């Protein structure tokens, strides 16, 4: 039966499983996912920034440099649903390793594009590299397959937090990558892509060997066999029929769009106001720390006080960030504080919202709705980033911040309707 807000909710057969019952211990699952996330993060962090430089070089114009992030985001969006379907059919082990192999192939194609000086080939490679981002997103859901409902958000947040390690280490491999690349005879700006190939192959190996038995397939096998399980539904059908899933998916997507729209334009704004690259880099680093460093805190909090309350907390921090950005756009300190709050608000909303996505439907429907959630998240981020440029040009940084408040307002209004109508409790209904 439904649990009250703030409670840990009912325990499922899967969440109570032990190694003796054929389920892998949750600690082992988390260790494997964290290891894969670190490797995948290194692979992505070492290449995306260089991808923009390589795009400008091969295209002959800096105007095309933004296509690196665009193609990677598009690749993550395109890969989200197929990888989720593969997880539902073959398990997380096959899905995550397949995505990592696709990303590694993309890095290899990017290297080849520089050798043959073919810009469209680089775009293809960067798009395939985006599958690595889709793997990182799916890995957080994999942490919930066998988690107890009382620790589900915390387990998910640990996997989100591990992304920090790769994100920090990756960009520091630019220099060593060029040294290694030169030794191997690679074209300039492609050495780090070689690290990405190796990291993605290693991540695939970690998933293939470590996720045995598979956590998702095990959770499915531990369902109550006395009741015939219904056939899995498509993600779109789940969204149409499940108001709680709609709310959770929308909260994650809109929070991500809010973050991307302001964050993506902050380096441009700071440079226009005379900030050095060191200042820009430091500001973005603090923002990334806000996104990931405290995610376990928000996961613990979501388990203790409920998912919806932490989503609202996240919206509060996002709103505070936008207010500061709007009124202190000419202050570097104000912009930095705004970006830290932006990362923290994103973290709270995404961790709590993702936990709610995972538990809003029965186990057989989870891969489908998780795929739709990741697709919506990437699409919303891509749209937010694409529209932010014209808004910045026409309304300025303050105008962009004030306009982005509409996204936060949409989540808060939806939250109020969700609570008033009691569509679903903030903690799990389904085991």
245 and 218 both lie in a single domain: no
In CATH, what number is assigned to the domain containing residue 283?
Answer: 1.20.1250.20
317 within some domain: yes
Q: Strand, helix or coil at 87?
A: helix
pLDDT at position 120: 93
For 147: left if phi > 0, alpha if psi spans -120 to 50, otherwise beta; the answer is: beta
7 within some domain: no
Distances (CA, A) of 74 to 61, 79, 381: 21, 9, 10
The span from the CA of 51 to the CA of 48, in Å, is 5
183 and 260 both lie in a single domain: no
Residues 6+ apart with CB under 8 A from 338: 262, 321, 322, 324, 325, 328, 401
197 and 298 both lie in a single domain: no
Number of C-alpha atoms within 13 angstroms, CB side, residue 95?
31
37 and 116 both lie in a single domain: yes
pTM: 0.79
Residues 6+ apart with CB under 8 A from 158: 30, 34, 143, 295, 296, 299
pLDDT at position 231: 63
In the chain, % helix, strand, coil (3-state, to 5) comes to: 80, 0, 20
Cβ atoms of 203 and 43 within 8 Å: the answer is yes
Rg for the chain, CA atoms, rounded = 21
Among candidates 142, 138, 166, 140, which has minimal Cα distance to 44? 166
Among candidates 252, 253, 239, 250, which has minimal Cα distance to 361? 239
218 and 239 both lie in a single domain: no
pLDDT at position 428: 52
pLDDT at position 11: 39
pLDDT at position 165: 79
Report the chain's terminal Cα–Cα distance, integer Å.
10
Q: What is the DSSP string of 132-164?
A: HHHHHHHHHHHTTSS--TTTHHHHHHHHHHHHH
Cβ atoms of 269 and 339 within 8 Å: the answer is no
Cβ atoms of 315 and 418 within 8 Å: the answer is no
Q: Strand, helix or coil at 229?
A: coil
Q: Which of 223, 255, 288 is the last residue of a domain?
A: 223
163 and 289 both lie in a single domain: no
Distances (CA, A) of 12 to 203, 219, 248, 318, 329: 30, 9, 21, 34, 49
Q: Which domain holds residue 319?
A: 235-423
164 within some domain: yes
110 and 193 both lie in a single domain: yes
Among candidates 323, 327, 326, 380, which has minimal Cα distance to 349? 380
Enter the tokens of residue 119.
């810009």
For 314: left if phi > 0, alpha if psi spans -120 to 50, otherwise beta; the answer is: alpha
Cβ atoms of 36 and 203 within 8 Å: the answer is yes
Among candidates 192, 244, 182, which has minimal Cα distance to 3? 244
Structural domains counted in the chain: 2
**H-state helical runs in 211-264:** 215-221, 235-241, 243-263
Residue 17 DSSP label = -
208 and 100 both lie in a single domain: yes
397 within some domain: yes
353 and 297 both lie in a single domain: yes
386 within some domain: yes
Distances (CA, A) of 81 to 71, 146, 312, 361, 363: 17, 21, 28, 17, 17
Enter the tokens of residue 405.
């408040």
pLDDT at position 316: 97
All residue ranges of the chain with pLDDT < 70 are 1-23, 43, 45-49, 52, 62-63, 65-66, 167-168, 170-172, 174, 223-235, 277, 421-431
Q: Which of 192, 223, 254 is the last residue of a domain?
A: 223
Q: What is the DSSP string of 57-118?
A: HHHSSGGGTTHHHHHHHHHHHHHHHHHHHHHHHH-HHHHHHHHHHHHHHHHHHHHHHHHHT-
Handedness of CA 197, 199, 205, 207 (dihedral sign): negative
293 and 419 both lie in a single domain: yes
41 and 179 both lie in a single domain: yes
Number of C-alpha atoms within 13 angstroms, CB side, residue 356?
33
196 and 253 both lie in a single domain: no
- How open is the CA angle 360-366-367, to the nearest 5 degrees? 150
Q: Which of 181, 197, 223 is the last residue of a domain?
A: 223
Cβ atoms of 44 and 192 within 8 Å: the answer is no
Cβ atoms of 89 and 109 within 8 Å: the answer is no
Q: What is the DSSP string of 367-427?
A: HHHHHHHHHHHHHHHHHHHHHHHHHHHHHHHHHHHHHHHHHHHHHHHHHHHHHHHT-S-SS
């Amino acid at each position: 039966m439904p649990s009250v807000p703030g409670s840990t909710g009912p325990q499922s057969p899967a969440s109570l499983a032990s190694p003796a019952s054929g389920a892998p211990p949750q600690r082992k699952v988390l260790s494997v996912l964290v290891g894969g996330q670190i490797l995948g993060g290194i692979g992505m962090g070492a290449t995306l920034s260089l991808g923009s430089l390589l795009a400008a070089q091969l295209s002959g114009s800096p105007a095309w440099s933004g296509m690196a992030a665009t193609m990677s985001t598009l690749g993550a969006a395109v890969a989200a649903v197929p990888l989720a379907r593969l997880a539902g059919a073959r398990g997380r082990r096959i899905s995550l390793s397949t995505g990592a192999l696709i990303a590694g192939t993309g890095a290899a194609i990017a290297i080849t594009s520089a050798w043959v000086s073919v810009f469209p080939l680089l775009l293809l490679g960067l798009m395939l590299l985006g599958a690595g981002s889709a793997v990182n997103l799916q890995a957080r859901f994999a942490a919930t397959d066998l988690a107890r409902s009382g620790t589900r958000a915390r387990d998910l947040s640990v996997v989100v937090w591990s992304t920090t390690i790769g994100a920090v280490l990756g960009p520091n491999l630019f220099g060593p990558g060029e040294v290694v690349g030169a030794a191997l005879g690679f074209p300039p700006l492609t050495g780090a892509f070689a690290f990405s190939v190796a990291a993605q192959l290693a991540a695939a190996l970690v998933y293939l060997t470590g996720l045995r038995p598979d956590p998702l397939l095990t959770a499915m096998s531990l369902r109550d066999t006395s009741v015939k399980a219904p056939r899995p539904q498509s993600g779109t059908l789940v969204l149409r029929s499940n108001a709680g899933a709609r709310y959770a998916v929308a909260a994650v997507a809109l929070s991500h769009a809010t973050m991307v729209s302001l964050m993506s334009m902050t380096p441009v704004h700071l440079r226009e106001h005379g900030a050095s690259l060191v200042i820009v880099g430091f500001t973005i680093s603090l923002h990334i720390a806000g996104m990931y460093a405290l995610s376990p805190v928000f996961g613990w909090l979501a388990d203790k006080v409920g998912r919806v309350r932490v989503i609202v907390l996240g919206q509060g921090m996002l709103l505070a960030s936008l207010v500061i950005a709007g009124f202190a756009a000419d202050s570097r300190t104000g912009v930095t504080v705004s970006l830290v709050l932006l990362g923290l608000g994103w973290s709270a909303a995404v961790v709590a919202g993702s936990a709610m996505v995972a538990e809003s439907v029965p186990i057989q429907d989870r891969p489908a709705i998780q795929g739709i959630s990741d697709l919506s998240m990437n699409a919303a981020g891509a749209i937010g980033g694409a529209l932010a440029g014209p808004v910045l040009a026409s309304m300025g940084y303050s105008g962009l911040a004030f306009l982005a408040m509409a996204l936060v307002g949409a989540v808060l209004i939806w939250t109020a309707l969700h609570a008033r109508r009691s569509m679903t409790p903030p903690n799990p209904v389904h085991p």
